[in-house]
Structure 1
Amino acid sequence: MAIIAGVFVALAAALHVYIFLMESIWWTHPATWKRFGVADQAAADTTRPMAYNQGFYNLFLAAGAALGLLLIMTSQSDAGAALVLFATGSMVLAALVLVSTGRHYLRAALVQGTFPLIGFLLVIFG
């Protein structure tokens, strides 16, 4: 896999770790819940279990992408590429689901989906 593809996959993984932190660790901090459009602290407290769970989905996708990169670097390129493609493909699909819920989520979907889409395409065509 080309180095540039690895960089985009690593950026996608890092972004999804950050999303995990926001959703699972920092969810009840006002700066975080406001970023997600949550109305107030009471709503953030109510939605905390859902956000906590969703954050771990992001962490697991990041771990899959990172493990795939590690496998590629240790000469297990077929298994690594499969894992990278699954993880980044899932990230892109999640971004598409997000934007399908409303046009006001377009910016968030682009942030969430751009790095994994570029990484995915570079792995496929690189």
Structure 2
Amino acid sequence: MVGILATVFAALAALLHVYIFVMESVQWTQPKIWKRFGVADQAAAEITKPMAYNQGFYNLFLAIGVVIGIVLFYAGGGIALVLFALGSMVAAALVLVTTGLKYVRPALIQGMLPLIAFVLFPFA
């Protein structure tokens, strides 16, 4: 049962990070997206587009790491990859908090699913 819960939370974390990838790397210059990220205006969104594009791919790669880690885990492999990817997601959320208190909510959204999965996986 714990393995199923760990997998569900890990998969949800991966899906969330794919969604973040889409927002940052594909939809960044849409007003509803850059406003969500606290960007001041369209000009600033255009200026920060290359940074957001790059950052989005980091999120995608973490999601891919979680998915491959889950597959390897159920194929009888170790849990190192899934724990590394989940831990990296949690660490990124912690770094986000260090940028200011207004980022606590986004950090919780970004970090809670992988944290729960990270805690559960060793018991799976």
Global fold match (TM > 0.5): yes
Q: Does 1:28 align with 2:21?
A: no
Unaligned runs of 5+ in 1: none
1:79-98 to 2 correspondences below 5 Å: 81-98=79-96
CA-CA distance at 1:43 after TM superposition: 0.3
What SS does structure 1 have at the residue aligned with 2:115? helix
Q: Does 1:54 align with 2:50?
A: no
CA-CA distance at 1:72 after TM superposition: 1.5
Number of corresponding residues? 123
Find the aligned partners of 2:49 and 2:90 in 1 and give their Cα distance.
Answer: 24
Find the aligned partners of 2:80 and 2:8 in 1 and give their Cα distance.
Answer: 17
CA-CA distance at 1:125 after TM superposition: 3.6
Contact residue 9 and residue 113 of structure 2 kept, 8 A: yes
Find the aligned partners of 1:5 and 1:122 in 2 and give their Cα distance.
Answer: 5
Q: Does 1:17 align with 2:18?
A: yes
Find the aligned partners of 2:71 and 2:59 in 1 and give their Cα distance.
Answer: 18
Cα deviation 1:18-46 (Å, max 9, x = unaligned): 00000000000000000000000000000
Cα deviation 1:65-92 (Å, max 9, x = unaligned): 000011112222x1xx100100000000
Instruction: Find runs of 4+ consecutive structure 1 residues off by over 4 angstroms.
Output: none
Q: Which amino acid aligns with 1:90?
A: S
CA RMSD in angstroms, aligned pairs only: 0.9
- TM-score, length-scaled by structure 2: 0.96
**Cross-structure match for 2:101:** 103
Q: Identity over aligned residues, as a percent?
A: 65
- TM-score, length-scaled by structure 1: 0.95
Cα deviation 1:50-70 (Å, max 9, x = unaligned): 000000000000000000011
Q: Which amino acid aligns with 1:29?
A: Q
**Cross-structure match for 1:72:** 73
Find the aligned partners of 2:67 and 2:40 in 1 and give their Cα distance.
Answer: 34
What SS does structure 1 have at the residue aligned with 2:40? coil
